[in-house]
Amino acid sequence: MTKKILFLGPAGSGKGTQSAKLAEKFGIEHLSTGDLIRGEIKSGSELGNKVKSIVEAGQLVSDDIVNEIVKAKVANLDAFILDGYPRTKGQAEFFSTVSDLDFIFDLEVDSEALIERLTGRRMCGKENDKNCKGTFHTKFNPPQAEGKCDLCGSPLYQRKDDTEEAINKRLGGYEAETGAPLNEFYGAKVSKVNANRKPDEVFADIESKLQVSV
Protein backbone atom coordinates (compact mmCIF):
# COMPACT_ATOMS: atom_id res chain seq x y z
CA MET A 1 0.00 0.00 0.00
CA THR A 2 1.56 3.29 -1.03
CA LYS A 3 -0.04 5.81 1.24
CA LYS A 4 1.22 8.88 3.02
CA ILE A 5 -0.46 8.92 6.38
CA LEU A 6 -0.42 11.29 9.34
CA PHE A 7 -1.64 10.53 12.83
CA LEU A 8 -2.85 13.27 15.15
CA GLY A 9 -3.78 12.83 18.79
CA PRO A 10 -2.61 13.75 22.29
CA ALA A 11 -0.20 11.67 24.34
CA GLY A 12 -2.15 8.68 25.62
CA SER A 13 -4.48 8.50 22.60
CA GLY A 14 -2.69 5.40 21.35
CA LYS A 15 -1.21 7.21 18.36
CA GLY A 16 2.19 5.53 18.67
CA THR A 17 0.65 2.07 19.05
CA GLN A 18 -1.73 2.49 16.11
CA SER A 19 0.88 3.90 13.76
CA ALA A 20 3.38 1.17 14.62
CA LYS A 21 0.76 -1.49 14.05
CA LEU A 22 -0.31 -0.04 10.71
CA ALA A 23 3.30 0.33 9.62
CA GLU A 24 4.01 -3.30 10.43
CA LYS A 25 0.89 -4.68 8.78
CA PHE A 26 1.38 -2.83 5.50
CA GLY A 27 5.17 -2.64 5.45
CA ILE A 28 5.19 1.15 5.49
CA GLU A 29 7.89 3.19 7.21
CA HIS A 30 6.86 4.56 10.60
CA LEU A 31 8.39 7.98 11.15
CA SER A 32 8.12 9.13 14.74
CA THR A 33 9.82 12.40 15.59
CA GLY A 34 11.83 10.93 18.45
CA ASP A 35 13.14 8.07 16.31
CA LEU A 36 14.00 10.43 13.46
CA ILE A 37 16.02 12.68 15.74
CA ARG A 38 17.84 9.71 17.30
CA GLY A 39 18.47 8.26 13.82
CA GLU A 40 19.95 11.49 12.54
CA ILE A 41 22.31 11.69 15.52
CA LYS A 42 23.35 8.09 15.02
CA SER A 43 24.06 8.65 11.32
CA GLY A 44 26.91 10.99 12.25
CA SER A 45 25.91 13.45 9.50
CA GLU A 46 26.72 17.13 9.81
CA LEU A 47 23.13 17.83 10.81
CA GLY A 48 23.22 14.85 13.17
CA ASN A 49 26.25 16.24 14.99
CA LYS A 50 24.57 19.60 15.32
CA VAL A 51 21.45 17.96 16.77
CA LYS A 52 23.60 15.90 19.11
CA SER A 53 25.18 18.97 20.67
CA ILE A 54 21.74 20.59 21.10
CA VAL A 55 20.31 17.50 22.80
CA GLU A 56 23.39 17.08 24.99
CA ALA A 57 23.07 20.67 26.12
CA GLY A 58 19.56 19.79 27.28
CA GLN A 59 17.93 22.09 24.74
CA LEU A 60 14.93 21.42 22.52
CA VAL A 61 15.54 20.69 18.87
CA SER A 62 14.02 23.62 16.98
CA ASP A 63 11.12 23.32 14.55
CA ASP A 64 13.44 24.26 11.68
CA ILE A 65 15.83 21.42 12.39
CA VAL A 66 13.02 18.89 12.74
CA ASN A 67 11.65 20.18 9.42
CA GLU A 68 14.99 19.52 7.74
CA ILE A 69 15.28 16.02 9.18
CA VAL A 70 11.77 15.08 8.07
CA LYS A 71 12.25 16.62 4.64
CA ALA A 72 15.39 14.57 4.02
CA LYS A 73 13.71 11.42 5.28
CA VAL A 74 10.53 11.57 3.19
CA ALA A 75 12.31 12.67 0.00
CA ASN A 76 12.73 9.10 -1.24
CA LEU A 77 9.63 7.50 0.23
CA ASP A 78 6.38 6.92 -1.60
CA ALA A 79 4.68 5.72 1.58
CA PHE A 80 5.10 6.63 5.24
CA ILE A 81 3.29 7.10 8.51
CA LEU A 82 4.05 10.30 10.41
CA ASP A 83 3.61 10.23 14.16
CA GLY A 84 4.37 13.36 16.16
CA TYR A 85 5.08 15.60 13.18
CA PRO A 86 3.87 18.19 12.18
CA ARG A 87 3.42 19.41 15.74
CA THR A 88 2.60 23.04 14.93
CA LYS A 89 0.86 24.99 12.20
CA GLY A 90 4.26 26.29 11.07
CA GLN A 91 5.54 22.76 10.58
CA ALA A 92 2.34 21.78 8.75
CA GLU A 93 2.82 24.71 6.38
CA PHE A 94 6.43 23.72 5.79
CA PHE A 95 5.54 20.09 5.24
CA SER A 96 2.89 21.00 2.67
CA THR A 97 5.71 22.31 0.48
CA VAL A 98 7.61 19.01 0.87
CA SER A 99 4.99 16.31 0.42
CA ASP A 100 1.28 15.67 0.12
CA LEU A 101 -0.71 13.46 2.49
CA ASP A 102 -3.28 10.83 1.52
CA PHE A 103 -4.75 10.31 4.97
CA ILE A 104 -4.92 12.20 8.23
CA PHE A 105 -6.32 10.34 11.21
CA ASP A 106 -7.18 12.28 14.33
CA LEU A 107 -7.45 9.98 17.35
CA GLU A 108 -10.01 11.56 19.62
CA VAL A 109 -10.08 10.66 23.29
CA ASP A 110 -12.38 11.71 26.04
CA SER A 111 -10.26 13.60 28.58
CA GLU A 112 -11.96 11.96 31.60
CA ALA A 113 -11.26 8.50 30.22
CA LEU A 114 -7.69 9.44 29.39
CA ILE A 115 -7.13 10.71 32.92
CA GLU A 116 -8.56 7.51 34.39
CA ARG A 117 -6.35 5.43 32.13
CA LEU A 118 -3.13 7.34 32.79
CA THR A 119 -3.45 8.11 36.50
CA GLY A 120 -4.01 4.40 37.22
CA ARG A 121 -0.90 3.34 35.34
CA ARG A 122 1.85 1.66 37.37
CA MET A 123 5.18 0.62 35.95
CA CYS A 124 7.67 -1.94 37.14
CA GLY A 125 10.64 -0.29 38.83
CA LYS A 126 12.99 -2.43 36.77
CA GLU A 127 11.72 -0.94 33.53
CA ASN A 128 14.83 1.07 32.94
CA ASP A 129 17.32 -1.77 32.96
CA LYS A 130 15.15 -3.55 30.35
CA ASN A 131 14.87 -6.72 32.39
CA CYS A 132 11.19 -6.19 32.94
CA LYS A 133 8.58 -4.08 31.25
CA GLY A 134 5.70 -4.91 33.53
CA THR A 135 2.90 -2.34 33.22
CA PHE A 136 -0.23 -2.46 35.31
CA HIS A 137 -3.34 -0.45 36.04
CA THR A 138 -4.90 -0.06 39.46
CA LYS A 139 -8.37 -0.61 37.98
CA PHE A 140 -8.08 -2.29 34.58
CA ASN A 141 -5.07 -4.53 35.13
CA PRO A 142 -4.20 -4.66 38.84
CA PRO A 143 -1.15 -6.61 39.97
CA GLN A 144 -1.83 -9.67 42.13
CA ALA A 145 -0.08 -8.10 45.13
CA GLU A 146 -0.66 -4.38 45.52
CA GLY A 147 2.36 -2.30 44.47
CA LYS A 148 4.37 -5.30 43.27
CA CYS A 149 5.21 -6.45 39.77
CA ASP A 150 3.62 -9.83 38.88
CA LEU A 151 6.54 -10.66 36.64
CA CYS A 152 9.52 -9.97 38.87
CA GLY A 153 8.25 -8.80 42.27
CA SER A 154 9.88 -5.36 42.05
CA PRO A 155 8.05 -2.38 43.52
CA LEU A 156 5.80 -0.54 41.06
CA TYR A 157 5.95 3.19 40.58
CA GLN A 158 3.76 5.88 39.06
CA ARG A 159 5.35 8.17 36.49
CA LYS A 160 5.61 11.72 37.69
CA ASP A 161 3.71 13.09 34.71
CA ASP A 162 0.81 10.67 35.16
CA THR A 163 -1.05 12.92 37.61
CA GLU A 164 -4.39 14.51 36.79
CA GLU A 165 -2.89 17.99 36.93
CA ALA A 166 0.00 17.15 34.62
CA ILE A 167 -2.28 15.32 32.17
CA ASN A 168 -4.71 18.25 31.99
CA LYS A 169 -1.84 20.60 31.37
CA ARG A 170 -0.46 18.34 28.64
CA LEU A 171 -3.87 18.00 26.98
CA GLY A 172 -4.41 21.75 27.03
CA GLY A 173 -1.00 22.36 25.54
CA TYR A 174 -1.58 19.78 22.82
CA GLU A 175 -4.96 21.21 21.88
CA ALA A 176 -3.68 24.79 21.71
CA GLU A 177 -0.46 24.07 19.85
CA THR A 178 -1.33 21.07 17.70
CA GLY A 179 -4.91 19.79 17.84
CA ALA A 180 -6.87 22.95 17.02
CA PRO A 181 -4.45 24.59 14.57
CA LEU A 182 -3.80 21.40 12.58
CA ASN A 183 -7.47 20.49 12.36
CA GLU A 184 -8.08 23.94 11.01
CA PHE A 185 -5.14 23.70 8.61
CA TYR A 186 -6.10 20.31 7.15
CA GLY A 187 -9.86 20.87 7.37
CA ALA A 188 -12.04 18.26 5.70
CA LYS A 189 -9.03 16.00 5.02
CA VAL A 190 -9.00 14.99 8.67
CA SER A 191 -10.64 11.67 9.41
CA LYS A 192 -11.86 11.49 13.01
CA VAL A 193 -11.35 8.24 14.86
CA ASN A 194 -13.00 7.48 18.17
CA ALA A 195 -10.03 6.30 20.25
CA ASN A 196 -12.05 5.65 23.43
CA ARG A 197 -12.10 1.98 22.52
CA LYS A 198 -9.90 -1.08 22.74
CA PRO A 199 -6.78 -0.80 20.56
CA ASP A 200 -7.99 -3.61 18.26
CA GLU A 201 -11.30 -1.88 17.63
CA VAL A 202 -9.57 1.42 16.90
CA PHE A 203 -7.22 -0.36 14.51
CA ALA A 204 -10.09 -2.07 12.67
CA ASP A 205 -11.77 1.30 12.21
CA ILE A 206 -8.60 2.87 10.79
CA GLU A 207 -8.12 -0.07 8.44
CA SER A 208 -11.68 0.11 7.14
CA LYS A 209 -11.33 3.85 6.54
CA LEU A 210 -8.18 3.15 4.52
CA GLN A 211 -9.75 0.30 2.61
CA VAL A 212 -12.68 2.36 1.40
CA SER A 213 -10.24 4.49 -0.54
CA VAL A 214 -8.13 1.70 -2.11
Query: Which residues are catalytically annotated?
Result: 15, 87, 121, 159, 170
Q: Can you tell me the distance from the alpha carbon of 16 to that of 202, in angstroms, rounded to the nearest whole number?
A: 13
CB of 210 to Zn ion, least distance (A): 37
The size of the interface with Zn ion (CB under 5 A), counted in residues, is 8
Beta carbon nearer to Zn ion, 65 or 151: 151
Q: Which of residues 48-67 bind Zn ion (CB under 5 A)?
A: none
CB of 90 to Zn ion, least distance (A): 42
Identify the three-state secondary structure at position 107: strand
Contact in structure between 125 and 158 (CB atoms under 8 Å): no
Q: Can you tell me the distance from the alpha carbon of 164 to that of 119, in angstroms, rounded to the nearest whole number?
A: 6
Strand order in the sheet with 80-83: 29-32, 80-83, 4-8, 103-108, 190-194
Q: Residue 190, interface with Zn ion (CB under 5 A)? A: no
In this chain, which stretch among 49-57, 83-91, 130-138, 201-209 interacts with Zn ion, using CB under 5 A? 130-138
Contact in structure between 79 and 22 (CB atoms under 8 Å): no
Binder among 151, 166, 170, 183 for Zn ion (CB under 5 A): 151
Residue ranges in contact with Zn ion by CB under 5 A: 124, 126, 132, 134, 149, 151-152, 154
